[in-house]
Amino acid sequence: METKKRIYVGLLIASLFSAVMIIGIVWYLITQRDIILSQIILILIVSIAGIIFILLSIGILAIIIMIIRSRTIPSLENMTQLANDILFPLTLLTGRLVGIEKNSILRSYIAVNNYLVKAKKLILKGEQVMILLPHCLQNSECPHKITVDVNNCKECGKCKIGDLKKLCREHGAVLKVATGGTLARKFVQENRPRGVIAVACERDLSSGIYEMGSLPVMGVLNCRPHGPCNNTDVDLLAIEKALQMMCKGG
Ligand code: SF4
């Protein structure tokens, strides 16, 4: 397993064991009290925690097996989703405690997510795929309102929006430019794509992937030669590869 993926999977496991330690402390405190009600609460807490622990363990194990096999396990996809949903915020906390830079963890999370999406071997039609771009990809001096309709772009070549428009036209994919998470969610709700290729920075991409839940989202990081949120750039080849992967089953 590469380092990028190891960070995230390692933190998933560390988060799980942190949760177990907290449960152990609760157990210790309750067993110090000699009341029947406390014992009933204790049994309840331990039973619920035990079930959650088993489910999360299966989820993490499934993620590791899927990465090693490069193939998804359809019957365990819900478990992997559950493990990700519950433990992702904990991985950030654990990472901070052990001094790992937040963006490294987010990049690792995005890499694991992309690998799991690839392992699904999706075969979608072009029109079932939405390419979701951040507004900062547009040249800051461009007067055209592309968030309202990307067809307002005149393909002048001053930014990558025109090239991406051509790419989507060739593949029949849906192209949208969003100013933030709210507009991005609106586009997804309106168009109901079966797969999304999202371009953004580490923070927006990871929160977007997290929020989309079971909808497969391939994340492509943007480049920020002029600093964050201003005239950003993206590797066209990476988007084309992601599009081909979603349409040709990897
Ligand atoms: S390529 Fe489109 S969005 Fe970019 S500057 Fe030209 S007209 Fe504006």
pLDDT for 250 equals 55
Q: Is the CB of 177 under 6 A from ligand 1?
A: no
Query: Which CATH class name applies to 126-248?
Result: alpha beta
pTM: 0.82
Cβ partners under 8 Å of residue 166, min gap 6? 155
pLDDT-flagged residues of the chain (< 50): none
Whole-number pLDDT of residue 102: 92
Is ligand 1 within 6 A of the CB of residue 147? no
Encode pLDDT of 41-73 as tens digits: 777 878 888 998 898 899 899 888 888 887 888
pLDDT given for residue 1 in this prediction: 64
* Nearest-CA residue for atom 6 of ligand 1: 156
Pocket lining: 183 vs ligand 1, CB cutoff 6 Å: no
The answer, yes or no, to whether any atom of ligand 1 lies below 6 A from the CB of 150, is: no
Q: In the chain, where are the structural domains located?
A: 3-119, 126-248
pLDDT at 11: 87
Query: Ligand 1 center to residue 98 CA distance, Å?
Result: 43
- Between CA 246 and CA 132 the distance in angstroms is 14
Q: According to the model, what pLDDT value does residue 193 have?
A: 97
pLDDT at residue number 37: 65
